[in-house]
Amino acid sequence: MNRLPYRVLALDLDGTLTNSQKQITPVTKAALEEAALAGVTIVLASGRPVMGIQPLADQLDLARLDGYILAANGGQVVSCRTGQAVFTSAVPGESIAQMEDIARRFQVALLCYDSQGVISSSPQDKYVRLEAFNNGLPVAYEGAMARRITWPTPKLMMVGEPDKLAPCAQYAQHFFQGKLNVFLSESYFLELTALGVTKSSGLERLLEHLGESREALMACGDGLNDLDMLSYAGLGVAMANAYAQTKAVAKAVTGSNDQDGVAQAVYRYIFNRS
């Protein structure tokens, strides 16, 4: 049997793996299972925390199929089979109290995640609640974050009204320059990760763990936070519903997330079926 051209498949979630109803269709699930059984390592790559990705991994049965979760935009990679982290690029602990001070100064909320759900000093904030809803998690804690977080955490977020968060983002980017990645993922979501963390940096470390090269990686995505991943992969595939900038860096374009575009890409580029 000929060796498959792409042996690691990284997938963004919303707008890529899932359709407009946030569902993995039977067609896409069947294509991914066939790929996994043929020896392809499936990686779910997202800005969400592990707990926010786990339900989709469970739907795809990635524990049995030996897949991986790439969480926090590359800040953490976890084996679905063992539940253990392959690595975590942790935010420096001393930065958390500084984040709290900045959040108070600009009247925005700070949040993170633990094994129980979202934790925040402002649990009733509507954007804290929105992030919890987006990940299907409860808001589990109220209180000072710096004293609460005693584990390596790959990501925190400041959230709030855009007119407050924009100046907060500008200040935080300057304050943490050379220390943290600080970027807006939405006008109301400011993400803070360890310096140098991206989806591509996380995939690079995972490929090293798997003994594979970037040439063996196929990645599918639609968003602006997928640009580096698609550029890095041996084959970057943009969805038909992707941003124009995302399509511009991709080497191929597949169907939309409502046309089982991931399945189309699997059959065409991994199995060489038209």
| Average pLDDT across the chain, whole number | 93
pTM exceeds cut of 0.85: yes
pLDDT of residue 147: 76
* pLDDT number for residue 2: 60
pLDDT digits (tens, 9 = 90+) for 260-270: 999 999 999 99
pLDDT at 1 over 60: no
Rounded alpha-carbon distances, angstroms, from residue 172 to 10, 26, 79, 126? 31, 43, 33, 21
The per-residue pLDDT for 56 is 97
Mean pLDDT of 167-191: 94
Q: What is the mean pLDDT of residues 219-226?
A: 91
Measured CA to CA, the distance from residue 272 to residue 16 in angstroms comes to: 20
Q: What is the mean pLDDT of residues 141-154?
A: 77
Over the range 98-119, which residues count as b (16 or more CB within 10 Å of their CB) and which as e? bbbebbeebebbbbbbbeebbb
pLDDT confidence tier of residue 143, bands split at 50, 70 and 90: low
Q: What is the pLDDT of residue 145?
A: 77
Per-residue confidence band for 149, with pLDDT thresholds at 50, 70 and 90: confident
**Digit-coded pLDDT (tens) for 23-37:** 999 999 999 999 999
